[in-house]
Structure 1
Amino acid sequence: MTTPTTAPRDTPPDTTPDAPQRQPDRLPTRWLILGVICLAQLTVLLDNTVLNVAIPSLTQGMGASTADIQWMLNAYSLVQAGLLLTAGSAADRYGRKKLLVLGLALFGAGSLVAGLSQSPGQLIAARAGMGVGGALLMTTTLAVVMQVFDEKERVKAIGVWGAVGSLGFATGPLIGGSLLNHFWWGSIFLINLPVALLGLIAVVAFVPESKNPSGDRPDLLGALLSTVGMVGVVYAIISGPVHGWTSGRVLVPAAAGLAALAAFALWERRVPYPMLDMHFFRDSRFVGAVAGGILVSFGMGGSFFLLTQHLQLVLGYDPLQTGLRMTPLALVIVVLNLTGAGARLLSKVGAPSAIAGGMVLLAAGLAAIAVLGADSYGGMLLGLVVMGVGIALAAPAMANAIMSAIPPEKAGVGAGVNGTLQECGNGLGVAVLGAVLTSRFAALVPAVAAGAGSLPAALEHARGDADRSAIADAFATGVHTSQLVGAAAVLAGGVLAALLLRRAERPRADAAR
């Protein structure tokens, strides 16, 4: 089996309404290419989950403060979220393979600097550099999948690509815990080096180049506005629970970010070579997928945030035990997507039904955890499995709907939109459901611990076993309420996305008759 020396290129978009897009030829090495892409994707996703279990080690080994730890976690997210659209546009213009190679190189270099850092400031800077590489990888990997697979195989390929995220989520805490039991904290970053190097060699050897042959001029102002806007909004979302939603440290960056995004939207409507064509938002299919994508990520980000606290602070498991008990969710997603079950169901029932059904199951799983898993892991296990089935059905269908609504020559931008939705949805889920938890806990906590903003702080004020029990019950009730709010939001998202997608499909069905 030989690797083609020339890659399939995107064709200029047909201006005829509803003109069929040319499907890429099936490459004999396409599944090998998908494996390479997934390896590159796994490099990023493992790092995100591994770092969470290293927080105590970083605090002791570096003498890092709470603020330092927050910036170690957030520097990566801020830079990545801010650059996703710009990275996707650059990949379309200059070549997706080139940017994929650059992303792996930057991520590997950042990991090396992070692993050898001697101070919190050095580690924060290294994490920001890794965020640049992560933005390139998140956009180019999905864009390459769109180029090498045709419409019949694309949903299954996207499902496999998405399953890698769940695999990273499942194995990250386990790998991190094992490394930290035997080595110093820097090992969690240095473990990225062989993976990044192997991915780099495989990308150069097997992944074909593809880019937009129309050669749009770079939209530099659009790139600047989108980056400033996303950084401002994501920073406000991250900082809200820490500094208070009405504080200047939250309102100022939020206002600046929203103003920059508004200016970006106005600029993109006027510029002849937009980075993100605002006309995409006239497509009900695109809008439906965007709305659903945000709310799925909202439910997922918020639920993971709540689950880790539920398992550790309510049920009493340590971090490694918590990681092990959350793996059923990820394993269900991996198995269903690797076997192609979600893709087969999508081809039978269509995107609206698959997305709606998946989000209903996700909401049901969250509700089951809230109701049945309040006091034991047995009930939570059922909810995790149901959530996994829902995500395996909805997430690939959602990503495919977003990417299919965007012309093939803009695949990088489409991947940037998809990644941006995930970042914003996750951040909003943590912020909103965290706020619900905090407010409910504060309303129920005994007077002896009034004003305490967390469970450990409240327990410090307890005067006896009765107070400790009442405080623990108040926190468990707050978690329960937050999970139900998350379930309601996901359910509403499923209904909204299904209605918009169904409406978008009606004209196409009528035209086909």
Structure 2
Amino acid sequence: MSEPSTAPSTPAAPAGPRVPEAVHRRRWAILGVLMLSLLIVVLDNSILNVAVRTIAAPAPTGVGATQSELEWAINSYTLVFAGLLFTSGLLGDRLGRKKVLLFGITVFGIGSALAAFSGTPGELIAFRAVMGLGAAFVMPATLAVLMNVFERDEQPKAIGIWAGSVGLAIAIGPITGGLLLEHFWWGSIFLVNVPVVLLALALMVWLVPDSRDPRPGRVDVPGVLLSVAGLVLLVYGIIRGGELADFTDATVLAPALGGLAVLVGFVLHERRSDHPAIDMSYFGRPAFSAAVAAIALVFFALMGVTFFSAFYLQSVRGHSALESGLLLLPLAVAQMAFAPRARIVVERFGARTVCAAGMLLVALGLAAFALFDASTPVWVLEVVFFLQGAGMAHIMPPVTVAIMQALPREKAGSGSAINNTFRQVGGALGVAVLGSVLSSVYRGEIEGHLGGVPAALRSLAGESVEGTLAVAERLGPAGRDLVAPAHRAFLDAMHVTAIASAAIALVGAAVVAAFLPGRAPADPVAPDPEAGAPARGATVPAARPEGDTPGASVPASGAGTGESARR
């Protein structure tokens, strides 16, 4: 018996042909390969966060990177990744998602190997950009392939598992990084990707079918170029603003506003084009737009708090990188436990109620940071991380389903690119804006305690809690009086930033409560799960993944092949 869609009130996409039987039988194995590919792409970015101190050390321990170079080792990946997400999704629809996935994971593996043996900070920054290029082709393709190997009624469950793997990667990245750095040199955090990439490539070639848009039309070259230019400029402006902790600087405003102007031009071009890269009419659907906004807002709030929680755990509470990673495990456990089952709750209460409740839970967890101090019991932290993970698990799958099922199956790459682009831009904004709030409040608090610091070190000491503690250590006994004020200043800054993060999550809750669809009405007729599908018993030509028998016809509702029995 078919399960109802988790977003039933969303205007349905045109029906696509059913998945060929040969692909359907191996769909869960294919999902496992997609999760493996997604895991290393997401995990590697969180691994780097625990290695920055080591990489900053002089050779041979590290590469002697400055603070600015360390930031760009992270940001070069983000800039290329976010800028090319939309384009890679379009290419997947046109050229074939399996080909794009194989290309992306290969480039990511090559970039990882090169980054592991970087001799200078400049090389590391360049090779991280190569990794971002590969990752931009991997992430949208995994979700697009998923939509083409699962029938519509199983897609919510598969997307829930896919979303759970993202949470797992975010949490185990710091743990993996901490373990590697305790036993090997800093490059091991990148080199560990290579054997996983080789395994993923072999499994992809064996298991994953190819699929593409059968009628892609002409390439919208101006639209593609506008999307790349707009996203790169916007993300660069966001990153620059976070570096300077000042969004009024000309070097921030020029690229950010320029990027927004280019993206407005992109939207206007797409609306007038007779062969648009993306049909802008989808954004006219309140449920679709609300789902996209929810993705951006929740990652804005969550990435900001993830940024400052690392400093709280390590700089204020004194935990090691490995211990800090282990403390984040409840967040991953909650996502793995609840994300695959989110569809069941949605079926009962509706996407609107479930997502709004998830947003409120995330907001509650973020607000709790405003009450934390240096002696807050660890079990309280664990409960808060668990609640945040549970909230995320009830947001990501339903809104992703709402986005992906609003588009035709042949446009799955474009839908996945939209989903991931808004998530990436929202996360980058969260780190930049909330990081700037944290930095500004901290500087204001600590300045009054730097009178005894030598003038040459005063700027570094006022930059961040890490800078203050580094100067205190350099000054020896004379710097001990700086430690307690640094901790107090950081906690005050964290409390302000946590309230700001919670407020953003509350905005997200209001958006989804207003516009996402509610619970589907009971239908005793049990309609076909493929909206607009042909009548039962009819056959439609199968838009076969490459490699399957050509010319096969697939029963529209499983007639003749036992559709319900094979589930």
TM over 0.5: yes
Displacement of 1:457 after TM fit?
A: 4.0
Q: How many residues align?
A: 490
Q: What is aligned with 2:565?
A: none
Q: What is aligned with 2:365?
A: 365
Displacement of 1:374 after TM fit?
A: 6.1
Q: Sequence identity, in percent?
A: 41
Q: AA paired with 1:213?
A: P
Q: What is aligned with 1:9?
A: none
Distance 2:485 2:317 in 1: 15
Q: What is aligned with 1:310?
A: 312
Displacement of 1:356 after TM fit?
A: 0.7
Displacement of 1:458 after TM fit?
A: 4.4
Distance 1:479 1:372 in 2: 9
Asked whether the equivalents of residues 83 and 132 of structure 1 are also in contact (C-alpha less than 8 Å), the reply is yes
SS in 2 for 1:287: helix
Asked whether the equivalents of residues 363 and 505 of structure 2 are also in contact (C-alpha less than 8 Å), the reply is yes
Q: Deviations over 1:46-78 (max 9, x none)?
A: 211111222222222222222222221111110
CA gap of 1:392–1:23, structure 2 versus 1, over 3 A, is farther
Show structure 2 runs of 5+ residues with no match: 1-10, 452-458, 528-567
Q: AA paired with 2:368?
A: A
Of the three residues 505, 509, 523, the one matched with 1:494 is: 509
Q: AA paired with 1:234?
A: V
SS in 1 for 2:153: helix
Is 2:46 the partner of 1:49?
yes
Distance 1:317 1:52 in 2: 14
Q: What is aligned with 1:174?
A: 175
Is 2:345 the partner of 1:351?
no
Q: Deviations over 1:178-212 (max 9, x none)?
A: 22222222221111111111111111111111110
SS in 2 for 1:184: coil
Is 2:390 the partner of 1:389?
yes
Distance 1:173 1:238 in 2: 22
Mapping of 1:204-219 within 5 angstroms? 204-219=205-220
CA gap of 1:505–1:156, structure 2 versus 1, over 3 A, is closer
Is 2:293 the partner of 1:291?
yes
Q: What is aligned with 2:193?
A: 192
Displacement of 1:368 after TM fit?
A: 2.4
Distance 1:364 1:344 in 2: 23
Q: What is aligned with 1:379?
A: 380
Using structure 2 for the length normalisation, give the TM-score. 0.82
CA gap of 1:346–1:118, structure 2 versus 1, over 3 A, is same
Mapping of 1:113-512 within 5 angstroms? 113-243=114-244, 244-337=246-339, 340-371=340-371, 375-376=375-376, 377-445=378-446, 447-449=448-450, 452-458=462-468, 460=471, 468-502=483-517
CA gap of 1:280–1:500, structure 2 versus 1, over 3 A, is same
Q: AA paired with 1:364?
A: L
RMSD: 2.3
Distance 1:447 1:120 in 2: 34
Q: AA paired with 2:18?
A: P
Q: What is aligned with 2:26?
A: 29
Displacement of 1:23 after TM fit?
A: 5.9
CA gap of 1:121–1:20, structure 2 versus 1, over 3 A, is closer
Asked whether the equivalents of residues 95 and 209 of structure 1 are also in contact (C-alpha less than 8 Å), the reply is yes
Q: What is aligned with 2:36?
A: 39
Distance 2:500 2:219 in 1: 42
CA gap of 1:134–1:387, structure 2 versus 1, over 3 A, is same
Displacement of 1:21 after TM fit?
A: 1.8
Distance 2:465 2:372 in 1: 22
Q: AA paired with 1:155?
A: P
Q: AA paired with 2:262?
A: A
Distance 2:243 2:193 in 1: 30
Show structure 1 runs of 5+ residues with no match: 1-16
- Which structure has the greater CA radius of gyration? 2
Distance 1:116 1:260 in 2: 37
Using structure 1 for the length normalisation, give the TM-score. 0.90
Distance 2:366 2:227 in 1: 33
Q: AA paired with 2:302?
A: M
Asked whether the equivalents of residues 373 and 379 of structure 1 are also in contact (C-alpha less than 8 Å), the reply is no
Distance 2:179 2:310 in 1: 18
SS in 1 for 2:217: coil
Distance 1:88 1:469 in 2: 50
Displacement of 1:226 after TM fit?
A: 0.8
SS in 2 for 1:316: coil
Q: What is aligned with 2:101?
A: 100
Q: Which moved more, 1:318-327 or 1:134-143?
A: 318-327
Distance 1:127 1:326 in 2: 25
Asked whether the equivalents of residues 312 and 318 of structure 1 are also in contact (C-alpha less than 8 Å), the reply is yes
